[in-house]
A = this chain, B = another copy of it.
């Protein structure tokens, strides 16, 4: 009974296959404390799964985002990073020193409501990176 079993269960119920590659990558994301880049995931995953291709890591991470099990973040540098988080949140990063703050999604609730009202769109689970200057760097 490993820690990612509920997620693999969810995959199976959605009609997707549970492969060793997906298991390992889910395990890594679940135990990471922050965002991981594809090459970080690859380096870690390769330890338990020699022969794993970096291509597969890219595809699996994007697959997990499509299914809603993982979230992608676009850092200030434009590079992608991934995480699994049960809290819908966003980020605010200081463009000068890189300090990062997490923004609970509840702070965007009224924005979302007004956007949905004015556009007729239904917003999905976004994971936004705001840039700014922290108190020290201003």
Task: Show the binding face of A for B, using Cβ within 8 Å.
Answer: 72, 74, 78, 80, 92, 94-95, 101, 103, 107-108, 110-111, 114-116, 118-124, 126, 128, 130-135, 138
A92 contacts across to B, CB distance below 8 A: 115, 119, 121, 123
- Give the number of times this chain occurs in the complex, counting copies: 2
Contact B132 A121 (CB under 8 A): yes
Contact A124 B131 (CB under 8 A): yes
A116, A118, A130: which has the most chain B beta carbons within 10 Å? A130
Closest residue on chain B to residue A135 by CB atoms: B120
Contact B126 A101 (CB under 8 A): no
- The answer for the CA separation of A119 and B131 in the assembled complex, in Å, is 12
